[in-house]
């Protein structure tokens, strides 16, 4: 079993030091089916509400904290080899995450987030 180091809440506290820019949280594990993604989202939601909760999985689990730059001229969010439905789902999740600081983007594929500043 692999263990995600700390909870989402601990990542938030650590990533918020020395900066006032908002954050986006990306969690992904390649190849999960829809049911497993739903269970992972449930686990992330529990972790957000309980800083002592630790997500444990028997598959590789990745978490990344992305700082949203106020002076970003361009924002690129991408993933290789996802179909049209996957692109639409990712777009919806990005929009939710940008409008709701508690929403975590969760996918079954790696996501790359790039901010280009002026």
Give whole-number Cα distances, 74 to 2, 66, 80, 93, 114, in Å. 35, 14, 19, 18, 8
Give me 17's structure tokens: 């030091």
Q: What is the pLDDT of residues 61-114, one digit of tens each?
A: 999 999 988 888 899 999 988 999 999 999 999 999 999 989 999 999 999 999
Q: Which long-range contacts (CB under 8 A, 24 or more apart) does 86-90 make?
A: none
- pTM (2 d.p.): 0.79
| HSE-CB of 19 using CA atoms within 13 angstroms | 14
Q: What angle do CA 12, 13, 19 make, to 5 degrees?
A: 90
Q: What is the pLDDT of residues 3-59, one digit of tens each?
A: 454 555 555 555 445 557 789 999 999 999 999 999 999 999 999 999 899 999 999
Distance of CA 26 to the CA centre of its chain: 1
Q: How far apart are CA 50 and CA 10, in angstroms?
A: 10
């Amino acid at each position: 079993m692999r263990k995600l180091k700390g909870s989402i809440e601990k990542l938030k506290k650590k990533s918020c030091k020395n900066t006032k820019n908002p954050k986006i949280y990306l969690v992904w594990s390649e190849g999960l089916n829809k049911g497993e993604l739903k269970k992972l989202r449930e686990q992330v939601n529990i972790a957000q509400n309980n800083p002592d909760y630790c997500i444990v999985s028997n598959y590789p689990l990745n978490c990344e904290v992305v700082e949203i730059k106020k002076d970003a001229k361009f924002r690129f969010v991408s993933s290789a080899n996802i179909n049209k439905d996957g692109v639409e789902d990712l777009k919806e999740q990005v929009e939710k995450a940008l409008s709701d600081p508690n929403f975590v983007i969760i996918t079954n594929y790696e996501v790359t987030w790039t901010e280009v500043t002026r």
